[in-house]
Amino acid sequence: MHEQDAGDSAQKTPPSHPAPARLPARLGWSRSGRWLTGIAVVLVIVLVAGATTAWVVVRKPWPQTSGELQVAGLDGPVQVVRDGAGVPHIYADSMHDLMLAQGFVHAQDRFFEMDVRRHATAGRLAELFGAGALESDLVVRTLGWREVASRELTMLQPATRGALDAYAEGVNAYLKQRSPSELALEYSLLGLTGVAYTPERWSAVDSIAWLKAMAWDLRGNLDEEIGRALTAATVGDKAVSELYPDYPYAEHPPVVEQGAVVRGKFDQGADAHGRALSRPVPGGAGAVQALAQVAEVLDGMGPLLGKGDGLGSNAWVVDGSHTTTGAPILANDPHLGTSLPGVWTQVGLHCRTVSSACPLDVSGFGFSGVPGVVIGHNAHIAWGFTNLGPDVTDLFVERISGNSYEYDGRRIPLTLRTETIEVRDADPVELTVRSTRNGPLLSDLSRLAQTSSEVELSADGLVDQVDGVAAASGTEGAGVSLAWTALEPRPTADALLALNAAEDFDEFHEALRDFAAPGQNILYADTEGHIGYQATGVVPVRGPANDGRTPAPGWRPDAVWTGTTVPYDALPRLLDPDSGIIATANQAVIDPRRYPPFLTDDWDQGYRSTRINDLLRAEEKLDVAAMSRIQLDSFSAVAQALVPYLLEIDLPGGYYSDGQKLLADWDLQQDADSAAAAYFNAVWREVLDATFSDELPEVLEPDGSDRWFRVVADLLPRAHTGWWDDVETDVVEDRDTILRAAMIAARDQLTARQSPNAEEWRWGALHELELRSQTLGESGIGIVERLFNRGGWEAAGGSSIVNATGWDARDGFEVRTAPSMRMVVPLDDLDAARWINLTGVSGHAFHPHYTDQTDLWARGETLPWAFTQEAVEKAGADVLDLQPSD
């Protein structure tokens, strides 16, 4: 990597470049080279040669989970007790040994996932998977995630650095014991093609970098910024207010309904204050084109790093006045993209003697590759996360000329750095990243990721066209830069370790002071009976000409970030509110009329949070089972708004009215076996397409999420508004015309897909969960994909429903995002807690714990969650003793 000022780079970077090559915007792993086809051919030969040989290859990477192993680096003995689901509980005498053992166990279960993640966050996927991974690498290198993580490492407290180093020591101890084929089946497949690949040693930076990927997936309103600008440019300013409605504070109350900032600190007993915002939008055809191209760049990011659609989660906590036991209960289910293995892995971390030197006695969900627990409980407190969704990203339209940009009436040299991306089976690609004071220019990448109208390029041809032009500087006109708080190094890793050891609300509050990105709502309960809430994250303060809702003019000093952030002590928090209930489901945190600091205007519209609050208040007394039932609630708010209108439509009798009859006595619950839910969602998808797709470009077409619930609900009383009219026909359609056509089309579709008998339709048969490995599971080679992917689970719920199995109306009904885990923790008896993971603990295909929890998850069931040593030992199915090596 090389950084230099553009003014000193004449001999290194020419002032202009030829027109850049165009890359296909949606490169799949199947285009990553001929090696995947080679895998398929060799694999068939192996399978034909004998099932025994294949089974040996498959089982070779499975970990030893009982008996005894010597592990380099340990200072004393460590015990790993696994329950029937393979969940490990680790017991050690020191923090060093506890963290080292966690690294060892994570490598046992999921090292290939860890290895791929670190390649992804370093912008090095193309090294493993060829040119098909270049899009992701280009974005990550442009943003410089790895460099930021390296700088964060130097900022950490000694205890955190020690934990990260010990964790890495444990991973490396496992790597030293095993060959690549003994680490993962995926490495065996790579080896079948003649590729000699040996994983690098793990480092502390590898762990920190994954936090950048989570911050990216939960990054806030970047898509909405682009969407508003493109909507205004294509269908007019009025459409922006209709398609991006303001948050309905009166209908869906925010998380915090009391308090204000007083002398720089949030006081939950203070009176309200007011504020005002300005909302300028930079224009120009060049800016609109650049924004559209940046939208394509972001859409091209692979699912491994998230697309920013993992915005939903549920968490709530009630105090003892609402429970059967008189003690608080906390529930959490974060909604993230589906994958195999799932994003979370379960673990218990127990110091045999808890002390200041070894303070952990904690259990919960974490990330493979990262030490500690992210969500869970210790012996004193429990906590859960939902995405706060603060506006921590801004796109700035820049006035670019050559290698300079305009700011405050002056021309300033762009900052340049060069990145070299190694590509499997091809020459390296050189990328020159150009940055303004606001951030790196994403629009430079857009010229490499535009959709090509030409035939798809082979992997080699693709690299030939990219190589040498990835820098693509010297273009006159508009550019688009990205400002993002996560690109400034901050010690978020300190917060995670401190949170694991916190024993009361004050320690909880202090632990989260360093939690910079992604900004989260974090709920709290303790064994003393208290409940609480804390908003976290670094939120920028903008100049008055930047409201955060649309791309801002980067050349104006009054539009850029001021360099200050909302103080942590000014972020909303609660302790023991009078209601005894705190529920957060990504709704607005607090009414801006009482809270001057700007957090965001792009909250979830609040349908889930209002439903959760209604259900909590409807129960006379709550217990663990009742909390679990609420997590499974599949009530459809959009059906509540739309069904009355559908029932009024005059349809031909018999065949076409069969679906309508199902709606007449439907309880609006989207259960997997519901025929009415199947019909309604087929109609809903047709309504969205018929109403909006004739006027909106593809990038703005509705996905059916909470914003579209609100948009359609607001349109329904207006039978003759222009949105109902199909501009591509010679007649003027109204609401009832569109609804009638949608109902007819849905009936025909379900007849073709399921049955001519409406009573036999099933929502779950449309709305299936398919779990896919995000590497070889996306190869495009059927025999390879069948090794790693699993599917066919019928799912209840839907988008923006409490049971949030999200689907994208633009693509079909398949589950795209889901509750990535569910947990319920009663604070009077931690051994009575319940939990479930979307997938199993293991990342090894065909291992008994690969997807063993998915069957339970799909049925809405949970597993017992042992915590105390007595309960863990009673639940133990395997015990592995780790001993120091000589």
Return the pLDDT at 390: 93
pLDDT for the residue numbered 814: 96
The reported pLDDT for the residue numbered 310 is: 47
- Sequence-distant (6+) residues with CB within 8 A of 429 are 126, 134, 420, 421, 423, 463, 466, 467, 470
Whether 173 maps to a domain, the answer reads no
Q: How many CA atoms lie within 13 A of 593 on its CB side?
A: 5
pLDDT at 21 > cutoff 60? no
pLDDT, one tens digit per residue, over 852-885 is 999 999 999 999 999 999 999 999 999 999 999 9
* Kind and range of the H or E run holding 410: strand 410-413
Tell me if residue 313 is catalytic.
yes
pLDDT at 467: 32
Q: Tell me, yes or no, whether 749 lies in a domain.
A: yes
What is the per-residue pLDDT across 202-261, written as a single tens digit (0 to 9) for each? 999 999 998 888 888 887 788 888 888 888 888 888 999 999 999 999 999 999 999 988
Mean pLDDT over 8-36 rounds to 36
pLDDT of residue 520: 95
Cα distance between residue 198 and residue 798, in whole Å: 42
Whether a cis peptide bond, with omega within 30° of 0, leads into 848 is no
Catalytic residue among 94, 313, 820, 842: 313
The pTM of the full predicted model, rounded to 2 decimals, is 0.89
pLDDT at 222: 83
pLDDT in tens, 99-130: 999 999 999 999 999 999 999 999 999 888 88
To the nearest whole number, what is the mean pLDDT of the chain? Answer: 87
Q: Would 384 be classed as within a structural domain?
A: no
User: In angstroms, what CA-CA distances link 621 with 68, 412, 529, 652, 672?
Assistant: 47, 64, 16, 48, 28
Q: What is the domain extent for residue 745?
A: 637-668+675-761
Side chain identity at residue 819, one-letter code:
P
Total structural domains in the chain?
A: 1
Per-residue pLDDT, averaged over 310-333, amounts to 93
Q: What is the pLDDT of residues 686-701, one digit of tens each?
A: 999 999 999 998 889 9
Residue 658 assigned ligand-binding role: no
The predicted structure's pLDDT at residue 192: 74
Higher pLDDT, 596 or 6: 596
Instruction: Give kind and range of the element (H or E) at residue 712.
Output: helix 706-715
What is the per-residue pLDDT across 135-166, written as a single tens digit (0 to 9) for each? Answer: 889 999 999 999 999 999 999 999 999 999 99
pLDDT, tens only, 444-496: 886 554 432 222 323 333 233 333 323 333 345 788 999 999 999 999 999 99
Q: State the DSSP string of 347-409.
A: EEEEESS--SSS--EEEEEE-TTS-S-SEEEESSEEEEEEE-----EEEEEEEEETTEEEETT
Residue 135 lies in a domain: no
Burial of 818 (0-12, 13-18, 19+ CB in 10 A): buried
Residue 45 has pLDDT above 70, yes or no: no
Identify whether the C-beta of residue 716 lies closer than 8 Å to the C-beta of residue 724.
Answer: no
Q: Tally the C-alpha atoms within 13 A of residue 143's C-alpha that lie toward its C-beta.
A: 29
Higher pLDDT, 388 or 33: 388
Cis check: omega of the bond before 14, within 30 degrees of 0: no
Q: Are 494 and 485 in contact (CB under 8 A)?
A: no
Nearby residues of 205 by Cβ (< 8 Å), 6 or more positions away: 146, 149, 150, 153
CB 73 within 8 A of CB 882: no
- The reply to whether 494 sits in an annotated binding site is no
The structure tokens listed for 314 are 């549920």
Task: Say which residues have a Cβ less than 8 Å from residue 866's Cβ, sequence separation at least 6.
Answer: 83, 89, 831, 872, 874, 875
Q: What is the CATH classification number for the domain harbouring 716?
A: 1.10.1400
Contact 677, 636 (CB under 8 A): yes
Residue 737 counted as domain residue: yes
Confidence of residue 306 (pLDDT cuts 50, 70, 90): low
Copy the structure tokens of residue 119: 């390649």
Q: Can you tell me whether residue 315 is helix, strand or coil?
A: strand
197 located within any domain? no
**Which residues are CB-contacts of 589 (< 8 A; sequence separation ≥ 6)?**
254, 255, 256, 388, 521, 535, 572, 599, 603
Contact 638, 427 (CB under 8 A): no
Report the range of poorest mean pLDDT among 67-76, 406-415, 588-597, 773-782. Answer: 773-782
Q: Is residue 526 in a domain?
A: no
Residue 215: per-residue pLDDT:
87
- The answer to whether residue 703 is domain-embedded is yes
Q: Quick check: 601 pLDDT over 80? A: yes
Q: Which tens digit of pLDDT belongs to each residue from 723-748? A: 999 999 999 999 999 999 999 999 99
Q: What is the per-residue pLDDT across 65-86, written as a single tens digit (0 to 9) for each?
A: 999 999 999 999 999 999 999 9
Cβ-contact 844, 850 below 8 angstroms: yes
Q: 545 with 556: CB under 8 angstroms?
A: yes
Summarize pLDDT for 533-574 with one digit per residue, the tens: 999 999 999 999 999 989 999 999 999 999 999 999 999 999
225 is in an annotated binding site: yes
- Rounded to whole angstroms, the Cα distance separating 346 from 541 reads 37
Angle at 535 between CA 532 and CA 536, to 5 degrees: 130
Place of tokens 């890495």: 168
